[in-house]
Structure 1
Amino acid sequence: MTASPSETSSDGGRERLRAVIAVPLPDDLVELIRTAEPRLEVVSRPDLTPPTRHPADWGGDPAFRRSPEQQAEFDRLVDDADILFGVPDVDADALSRTVAANPRLRWVHTTAAGGGASVKAAGLTDEALQRIAFTSSAGVHGSTLAEFAVFGIFAGAKDLPRLLRQQADREWPGRWAMRQVDELTVLVVGLGGIGKVVAAKLSALGATVLGTSRSGEPVDGVSELVAMDDLAEAASRADAIVVTLPGTDQTTGLIGQQVFDAAPDGVIIVNVGRGTVIDEDAMIAALNSGRIGFAALDVFAVEPLPADSPLWQHPNVLISPHTAALNPAEERRIAELFADNATRLLDNQPLRNPINTHEFY
């Protein structure tokens, strides 16, 4: 649900919606939002948000601590906002506190593509979920994650682990055949913002792309849409499986033993969605048996990946520490998305990337 500007402006006589930047955001991008939508009152207090360690470091330096006075000031800011850019401190408990303290809050934009997880973890009341619109940054990371997915498929097709082992051992073996991507059939599990870009890139490279979709609507580059009930059958025809799904109750463990048992030996697995979508125990067993020939993983069921996880040492696994989405342009893209949605809110138009507050994706 979104409140109209007139409803909000009549609350306490405020003439403009007040948008508070609740996470670190460079000054030039704060100005971008102000310029793009001058009807907003944009409030930014960089002295109250943590310093960043890299672009799009929304949580900032974990060593950062506010003084009691600074924390009280930060709380006052977010508690008087009509709109929040980012979940305060990227912390579900802080979101829960803010929502309870701020009856005027009407919209929260999450900087994560899977922002529904934070909203779910906040444990908000039904009243709050009806009162406040929640949006995510889905799609902003699509191209970056799709490139990692393509990289993972190339790495598997060209047997990157074997090449690295031979190079480390200074071994010059007899010649051996590599697979070609344009001869592969790739199953993309999830044709949302990321999956559509993955499908387009793989199709352009000549791969045959199968894909799952809730809507059943045709997707460019996808040769065949697959129902979720037919996932194992589709896996039996796939040389590679790319997972792009968000983490929800419905997707937890979706890619498990049944799918791996159906897949051909040497199948390539790439996960750029959420780690919980893959049953990691079943995946490790499939890696050990050779059913999975190579896995490129950006996400894991538990993060950081525990030091005792066998995935760290597995010779046919490439680990990316949930960093494949990061790109120097991410902050700007999210600021532009937020500004566009602010205009939509003010013009009583539907917001982009609304979070489903039943399944939280």
Structure 2
Amino acid sequence: MMNTMTTETLVAIAVPLEAELVDRIRAIDPSVTVLYEPELLPPERFPADHSGDPDFKRTPGQEERYWAMLNQAQVLYGLPNESPAGLARIARENPRLQWVHAMAAGAGGAVKASGLDPETLSKFRVTTSAGVHALPLAEFAALGILNGFKRSAELARDQAARVWPELRTPTRLVNGSTLVVAGLGEIGLETARIARALGMKVSGTKRTVEPIEGIEKVSDNDGLAALLSTADAVVNTLPGTPYTEKLFSRDVFAAMKPGTVFVNVGRGTVVDEDALVEALDNGKVSYACLDVFAVEPLPQDSPLWSHPNVLVSPHTSALSAAENRLIAERFCSNLRTFLDGGDLPHLVDPVHFY
């Protein structure tokens, strides 16, 4: 679907954003009018707090103004109220809507949760901020690998107990070890780049199997278990879809070498967490660095909280002080493409929600 508008394009800012970044969007083209009323948007509690302060409440009049603003626009920056329900409402109420740019890299889950039918979803496009988060996620994955190889959890326990072990335990060399990346997309390839800089050999999975420079073996997800049989570490970057649900099953964990380091920066639903706990307990997984979980916030009764060889991160590894700027720059590039009638990148598949 090409943008056939020849006059004014209305862009509404639906989520918190700094005024100077809004000005960058305005500067893309004279035909662009940006609808931005910061008093209708919740204040950020930290950089890139796209949902804003949960205690923020609009008055009835402000709520009416917020939705009136969004319903004028052909393009939205952010999901309304940063929620699937907001996306569902704007899809029903705004017949002009052509494109929504989501803040998340994995916005397919929110689109699916909106409950919109395929016919409604076909009337507009949703793009994600995929790629913006690749570097911070890859750095976090490298942290997880190094933590596992260098026994950081054991060191922290000894330090807390003020124990100086009589017998020194060697650590493992990352250099020369083998990493498997489940999901060789932008995040996976950035993870592979950093891993290779550390001297690791990297293989991985991709939906379309094809040679990739610097990657030793490429398989689809059906071949994941075979790749893991020789891996020293594995990083999951896969999104949550019906096709990746509990991909890391008991059988897949059983295929790993004893002592494998496991890192998850993709989606929690890709992992059978009961199977992961079993793998941690039986030594197949020596250490797990987890930024995402099947249920978030992680339930208080989850054994992952207290497992001695698990690092729990509250789904924050992608955050950086530069995130708002990077997403706005991505949106500006996409907006130029939209105005020129080009193909928008990083579209959410309305069938597979990928």
TM bucket by the smaller chain?
Answer: over 0.9
Gaps of 5+ in 2: none
Q: Distance in 1 between matches of 2:236 and 2:31?
A: 40
Per the TM alignment, residue 93 of structure 1 is displaced from its structure 2 partner at its CA by 1.0
Q: 1:35 aligns with which of 12, 27, 33?
A: 27
**Deviations 1:173-195 (Å, cap 9, x if unpaired)?**
22221111112111100011100
- Distance in structure 2 (CA, Å) of the matches to 1:125 and 1:85: 22
Aligned to 1:12: none
Structure 1: distance between partners of 2:276 and 2:99:
39
Q: Which amino acid counterpart does residue 309 of structure 2 have in structure 1?
A: N
Is 2:238 the partner of 1:245? yes
Runs of 4+ in 1 over 4 A off after TM superposition: none
Query: 1:197 maps to what in 2?
Result: 190
Q: Is the 8 A contact 1:5 1:345 kept in 2?
A: no
Deviation per residue, 1:13-69 (Å, 9 max, x gap):
xx2110000000110110111123443111111100101100110000111111111
Say what the alpha-carbon RMSD is for the aligned residues.
1.1
* AA of the residue aligned to 1:74: Y
Q: Are 1:123 and 2:122 matched, yes or no?
A: no
Deviation (angstroms), 1:168: 1.6
Measure, in 2, the Cα distance between the counterparts of 1:217 and 1:341: 27
Q: Secondary structure at the match of 2:27?
A: helix
SS in 2 for 1:36: coil
The amino acid of 2:153's aligned partner reads: P
Partner of 2:72: 80
C-alpha change, 1:37 and 1:143, in structure 2 (3 Å) is farther
Q: Which amino acid aligns with 1:4?
A: N
Please, what TM-score do these two structures have when normalized by structure 1?
0.96
293-302 or 128-137, larger mean C-alpha shift:
128-137
Equivalent runs, 1:260-299 vs 2, <5 Å: 260-299=253-292
2:176 pairs with 1:179:
no
Whole-angstrom CA distance in 1 between matches of 2:215 and 2:299: 36
Is 1:26 matched up with 2:18? Answer: yes
Residues 156-178 of structure 1 show CA distances to partners (whole Å, capped at 9, x for unaligned) of 00011111111122222222211
Mapping of residues 53-132 of structure 1, within 5 Å = 53-132=45-124
Which residue type is aligned with residue 99 of structure 1?
A: A
The alpha carbon displacement at 1:218 in A equals 2.9
What is the total number of aligned residue pairs between the two structures? 353
Distance in 1, matches of 2:52 and 2:29, equals 26
Paired with 1:258 and 1:220, the residues of 2 have a C-alpha distance of: 30
CA distance, structure 1, for counterparts of residue 107 and residue 187 of structure 2 = 15
User: Is 1:316 the equivalent of 2:299?
Assistant: no
Looking at structure 2, the residues matched to 76 and 209 of structure 1 have their Cα atoms a distance apart, in angstroms, of 51
Structure 1 Cα separation of the partners of residues 128 and 162 of structure 2: 48
User: SS at 1:214's partner residue?
Assistant: coil
Q: Contact between 1:22 and 1:86, CA under 8 Å: does it hold in 2?
A: yes
Q: Please state whether the residue corresponding to 1:294 is helix, strand or coil.
A: strand
Distance 1:263 1:37 in 2: 53
Q: How far, CA to CA, are the matches of 1:41 and 1:216 in structure 2?
A: 43
How far off is 1:215 after superposition? 2.0
- Partner residue of 1:236 out of 229, 237, 253: 229
- Stretches of structure 1 that go unaligned for 5 or more consecutive residues are 10-14
Q: Which letter does structure 1 place at the counterpart of 2:129?
A: S
Is residue 113–residue 139 contact of structure 1 (8 Å, CA) maintained in 2?
A: yes
Looking at structure 2, the residues matched to 303 and 38 of structure 1 have their Cα atoms a distance apart, in angstroms, of 42
Alpha-carbon offset, residue 282 of structure 1: 0.4
How far the C-alpha of 1:304 sits from its partner, in A, is 0.5
Is the 1:37–1:342 contact (alpha carbons within 8 Å) kept by the matching residues of 2?
no
Alpha-carbon distance between aligned partners in 1 of 2:205 and 2:105, rounded to the nearest angstrom? 19
State the TM-score, normalized to the length of structure 2. Answer: 0.97
Q: More deviation in 123-132 or 249-258?
A: 123-132
Q: Which amino acid is 1:98 matched to? A: I
Deviating more after overlay: 30-39 vs 285-294: 30-39
Structure 2 CA distance for partners of 1:37 and 1:149, relative to 1, 3 Å: farther
Partners of 1:233 and 1:315 in 2: CA distance:
28
Shift of 1:137: 0.3
- Structure 2 match to 1:254: 247
